[in-house]
Chain A
Amino acid sequence: MNNGPVVVAFCCNYCSYEAADRAGSAKKNYPENLRIIRVPCSGRVEPEFIVKAFENGADGVMILGCHPGSCHFKTGNHKAYRRYLLLKEILRAAGIDEERVKLDWVGASEDDKLVRVSTEFVEKIRELDTGGG
């Protein structure tokens, strides 16, 4: 069964994971391709996690954290952002299209944003796959 691309989303416990739960409670659909992994903070996401996801056949990876200034752990999201920039360099060197990784801020109340960014991202990955990206 081919259900299209596989997208791993690392969601921080306090904001984006909560937003995903709210999207569920509001029965707002988004592509089934999204596989959420709960982490305490976006600052817990190691660049190696993303590499590992690609190694295992993921087509795209999202890192969704709290908005700057709203991190439950104060500044974990800032650290995630710094690592994200570094990660893009690594991916470029490894020949992986950097567009296959996306970091975004999703607040706990932003279920609409979670649905929108994940839907758009899955679409983007689909385009990259069909377009030979």
Chain B
Amino acid sequence: MSYMSEQRIGVYLCECGGEISNKVNLEKVTDAIDARTITLPMLCTPEGLEEISKGISEFTHVVFAACTPKRIEKTFEDVVKKANLNPYLTHIVNLREQCAWVSEDKEKATDKAIHLIKGALRRIAYHEPLEEKYIDANPDVVVVGGGVAGVLAALTLSEDTNRRVYLIEKNPHIGGKTITYEDLTPNLTCAPCLLAPPLQDVLGKPNVILYTNAEVEEVKGTLGNFLLRISQKARYVDVDKCIGCNACIEVCPVNLPNDFEYRMKERKAIYFPYAGVLPNAPVIDWQNCLYEKERCQKCVESCVFDAINFDDMQREFDLKCGSVLLSTGFSTYPVREGGRIYSSPKFERLLAKNGPTEGEIVLPDGNKPKSIAIVHCAGREELGYCSKICCSVAMKYSHMIHEQLPDCEIHHIYTDLVLPEMHSKLYNEVSKFARFHRSSKFDVREDGGVTVEYTDEEGNQKLNVDMAVLMSGIMPSPELKKIAEIFDLKLNEYGFLEVSDMKLSPVETTSAGVLAAGGILGACSVEESVQQAVAAAGKVLSKLRHGEKLFVDPKVCTVDEEKCSGCKFCIPLCPYGAAVYEEEKCTIDETLCQGCGVCASACPAKAIEARHYTTEQIYAEIEGVTK
């Protein structure tokens, strides 16, 4: 080091009120080390800190021999910064927890202390001032997925009116799966009543910009500065002009089965997926619309608001934001349905007052069922996990069936009942009228009626019922793979999105600035989705504040371009995707790097430096503590 001769290293020794000085002979330490030492009774007290700030300016580098850096680092950093010394030109020796407190032999402890301080002295000679950087960050957020999680996150984020929230929804409407349910477990809350206010709210927020029929196609950048490419399919109806009067739908001559209603109802080529949908504007199914084939313009003629536009086209555009929140939901296990065999999501529509039968539980022939089997755990074995919410939903079905058809026999065929807290209350009520059959295996087939075969403790059983509902397991949505690819995210062993840390960062993905909430992370109830959504919004709010810059920790890894051979060894090693290959060289994105130094240890050309833990600093420390 060229400026080594100009270094003036000071060592502050802390007696720690005797905690250190009774176990370590600090006079002997002072004699043994080749640097200016100042011994104080307590470095961390106001008096101690005052002493430090008075004397520190005469040094270029400072070693504090005191307690664990984990406790005292921040305190010393503040006092050092106030004295205009770069905090990275200091080092703390853990003389209390890792020396005085673990020894009963003063002579040996003193020798150890001398070596630890020598290590610090050698190391610090190689310390360089590091610059704490602050980068401009965009406070705007893109929320992908307009289900209950996305909407609640968008609402929370939009409280700050300086922030724009872009809500991207692949369907023509928002509300996700929750809006398709009638009641919600465990309290049998009316879902449309519960959801209407937040959905209306999010549409009315001036700083929430909704794009329906839209998907993310490409992502560039990182936390603070993302650039997203969005594609939006044509709707052919101007949402701003349309008032949802239905006039266009009445005149449309095309009749088709409505997939949103599991084909239990028909729709037109211009249609609302179901009544009361938001935004309250229909969408045109271009493939089945007769405009191109027959120049049919009945809907256009019927619309007094001039809201229908056949020239609408698919478009692509860019959005800039500082953070992304993914809430694209889950999908359900595809069970074998039949006329009398319902998957749980299809049965939800049968129960819904805005559904195909206006909430009446009827068989396809219009008759009311006299007996219904609710078969739990459909797909559990294939999926390899319990979906945890279906048992409670099954109890809800039982309750709703019994309320409407009090004489209808209800059977539950289940393996285990997962009904914690409030959900068990629902079971207590349902168990008064429904019958429960425990069986690990079942077979359901339609033969005029429905036959359910299962095995209980007494052997093989057969049950003949009018209708069966299969509780479909929760599984990752099919588009999740594409999303994971676009955002360079990992999926867990079940195909859901992997979080950064299950316990401490449960809504942060493996990419900085990309958060997630709801069914994208695994099976979860509405309340859990909302908890995660609001938690994720909170993470954004605390990180990206309007007009504030983003702190970039200088203790990260950097590549010396001259030395880098472009071998790409570092790229797969980095757990944060911070190492990238650009123009025949490897580079490390400082905003993504977390400073673990794994790349620095592996670089064959020694081109990567882990700042503040550089190879020469550690070599020097090794020399000091051993010699």
Contacts and interface: CB of A to CB of B under 8 A. Distances in A.
Interface of A: 1, 3, 6, 8, 17-18, 20-21, 23-25, 27-30, 32-33, 35-41, 43-46, 48-49, 52-53, 56-58, 72-76, 79, 83
B453 interface: no
B127 to A, nearest CB: 14
A32 B109 contact: yes
B596 A29 contact: no
8 contacts: A1-B107, A6-B115, A8-B622, A40-B597, A41-B597, A44-B601, A56-B623, A76-B598
B601 A53 contact: no
A74 B575 contact: yes
A44 B101 contact: no
B286 interface: no
Interface size class of B (residues with CB under 8 A): 35 or more
Contacts of B575: 73-76
Contact of A3 (B69, B102, B108, B626): B108
B598 A24 contact: no
B102 A18 contact: no
Interface of B: 68-70, 94, 96-105, 107-109, 111-112, 115-116, 119, 555, 573, 575, 594-598, 600-602, 610, 613, 615, 618-619, 621-623, 625-627
A39 B102 contact: no
Contacts, number: 121
Contacts of B108: 3, 32
B621 to A, nearest CB: 5
A24 B100 CA distance: 8
A27 B600 CA distance: 35
A128 B116 CA distance: 25
Contact of B104 (A29, A39, A48): A29
Contacts of B116: 35
Which of B97, B104, B116, B613 has the most A CB atoms < 10 Å from its CB? B97
A44 B597 contact: yes
A44 B610 CA distance: 8
Nearest to B601: A46
A37 B94 CA distance: 10
Contacts of B98: 20-21, 24, 36
B598 A41 contact: yes
A41 B573 CA distance: 13
A49 B111 contact: no
Given A3-B111, A43-B601, A27 B622 contact: no
Contacts of A52: 619, 622-623
A43 B622 contact: no
B618 A39 contact: yes
B119 A35 contact: yes
Contacts of B99: 32
B594 A24 contact: no
B239 to A, nearest CB: 43
A24 B102 contact: yes
Give the secondary structure class of B's interface: helix
Contacts of A73: 575, 594, 596, 598
Which of A8, A33, A36, A75 has the most B CB atoms < 10 Å from its CB? A36
Contacts of A20: 97-98
B626 A56 contact: yes
A37 B96 contact: no
Nearest to A6: B626
Which of A3, A27, A41 has the most B CB atoms < 10 Å from its CB? A41
Given A35-B112, A76-B596, A79-B573, A8 B102 contact: no
A6 B625 CA distance: 9
A54 to B, nearest CB: 9
The 4 closest A-B pairs by CB, nearest first: A24-B97, A44-B597, A73-B596, A43-B598
B389 to A, nearest CB: 27
Which of B100, B116, B597, B615 has the most A CB atoms < 10 Å from its CB? B597
A23 B119 contact: no
Given A21-B68, A21-B94, A37-B622, A43 B597 contact: yes
B615 A46 contact: yes
B102 A49 contact: no
B472 to A, nearest CB: 32
B598 A44 contact: yes
A21 B597 contact: no
Nearest to B123: A37
Contacts of B69: 38
B600 A44 contact: yes
B625 A24 contact: no
A36 B94 contact: yes
Contacts of B621: 37
Given A29-B102, A43-B601, A56-B623, 8 more contacts: A21-B98, A28-B102, A35-B625, A44-B598, A57-B626, A73-B575, A74-B575, A79-B573
Contacts of B594: 73
A57 B627 contact: yes
A76 B598 CA distance: 6
B94 A40 contact: no
Contacts of A3: 108, 111
Contacts of B103: 29, 32
Contacts of A24: 68, 94, 96-98, 100-102
A53 B626 CA distance: 7
Given A32-B112, A43-B601, A37 B595 contact: no
Contact of B622 (A29, A53, A75): A53
Given A73-B575, A83-B601, A49 B618 contact: yes
A76 B99 CA distance: 27
A47 to B, nearest CB: 8
Nearest to B619: A52
Contacts of B602: 79
B626 A44 contact: no
A83 B569 CA distance: 14
Which of B69, B94, B116, B622 has the most A CB atoms < 10 Å from its CB? B622
Contacts of A58: 622, 626
A18 B70 contact: yes
A27 B101 contact: yes
B102 A1 contact: no
A35 B613 contact: no
B104 to A, nearest CB: 6
A113 to B, nearest CB: 14
Contact of B596 (A28, A43, A48): A43
A40 B104 CA distance: 29
Contact of B97 (A21, A40, A43, A74): A21
A46 B609 CA distance: 12
Given A35-B116, A53-B626, A57-B626, A45 B109 contact: no
A40 B594 CA distance: 10
Contacts of B626: 6, 8, 35, 53, 56-58
B74 to A, nearest CB: 15
